[in-house]
Structure 1
Amino acid sequence: MTPKIELRGVSKRFGRKVVLDKLNLSIAPGESLVVIGGSGTGKSVMLKCILGLLQPDEGQIFVDGEDVTRLRGRARAAHRARFGMLFQGGALFDSMPVWRNITFALTQGRRGNAKLHALAVELLQKVGLDPAVADLRPSELSGGMQKRVALARAIAAKPEIIFFDEPTTGLDPIRADVINDLIVSLVRDLGVTALTITHDMASARKIAHRVAMLYNGKIIWDGPRDIIHSSGNPYVDQFVNGRAEGPIKTGVLNR
């Protein structure tokens, strides 16, 4: 089976700082992959390279077998349209109501406001929110509700692939689990391919089919979520158990 996403030898540097170092990774169609790793290890840079927001210094990135690192102009814009994104902070516009936030990417089409509003209401119900929320401003919502609105926006354009950037950050354990359940159900029901970056191991264990750990710009472990606590890898073991002592040093995480 052709991977939905495949990175081959991808490197990215900023000056002398090597962020991605000949990174290899593949994700199957319909798979939910969670990438874990400390702050500053390149997880967000990896996402930006896949999206085409950053150009790798070396290597290739394939989506459905097509090398997307070569895309330019309209082809690159069409490539980005295949992705949905749930940003860490929600990234909602407080200057517009919720329904306009959800349908923001669709406003260039021919659908009028009534159809867009109806679509937003449908998506709000899909993520477990009351239709009345559509006419509120994001500032009137709790953090958990804002995350669900952002999730509704991420699926509005019916993407093939969804990226989740720290989806449970800033939420209490109960609200975080609501978001985890929504991610699981959306991946299952929509048949999308999902790539999540997170520090939340409870979230990783729930939403992932597979977990990979990024360290020093490389994937140092990759396997099913059910065996992550018996990985046999000391770096993975230290990270998933949240221990200060071990092979991962604070200076390395912040490099």
Structure 2
Amino acid sequence: MLEIILLVLLGLLAAVFGSIVGLGGGIIIVPSLMLFGSVLTGGEISHAAAVGTSLAVLIVTALASTISYTKKKRVDFRIGWMLFITSGPAAMLGSALTGQLQGGWFQLMFGVFMLLMAGLLIARDFIKPSARIWPISRTYVDPEGQSHEYGFALLPGLLVGFGVGLVSGLFGIGGGSLFVPVMVLLFRFPPHVATATSMFVIFLSSILGSGVHAVVGETDWRLVLALIPGAWIGGKVGAYIAVRMSGKGLLWLLRVTLFILSAQLIIEGLTQI
């Protein structure tokens, strides 16, 4: 019973963090399952099973968040579908490659990736959005009545979608950790629209990525069932919080958490190589 409670709480916390900043929660679930598998389930959890399980849970998290954001009219579905053109297939490719990383290489690569993401989450507060005029122009009017102009271009968007989808399927993180900063800094998306649209793309890509892991037997459905209740609630709670606050305090907590988890994964990866 204690293990089930811990897994529900893990799904809840990961989904709350993920929904607030558009990460999807996988960047918390995957390392937690790998590092604390013996505590959560009584046995070790392989990196492939952690990734496959995370992507399956991300479907629920992202769906809950997308529904909440859609009610607030913050999801740019047109651009979301454009990003999915390449992110979906790339997520399938990344998922197929996950099991090929043996020994400590996955832990090392994932640890380095998380370290870079933590740095990017810090750097994005100090980097100014691009002033470039993009061929596709969009307008978002926030609840205060303020109008925000942002843009998009198909070719850069497709390239970004492919890279993010590949990383998403490989590591089971959903891709929001890359999508949101790129959408804000490169295309000048309002942060709330970037987060909401990111969660929509994560929902679609996670379906394809998790399908690949399920086919090759890399999904622990018992863990999925235990994590889903917390993920569904957390996705809605995170979206609720994101609508009403900047989330800066929680964002700094996430940054510190990523630094700690990344250091542990890098150390473990180096000792296993």
Length-normalised TM-score, structure 1? 0.32
Larger radius of gyration: 1
Which protein has the bigger strand share? 1
Which protein has the bigger helix share? 2
Length-normalised TM-score, structure 2? 0.30
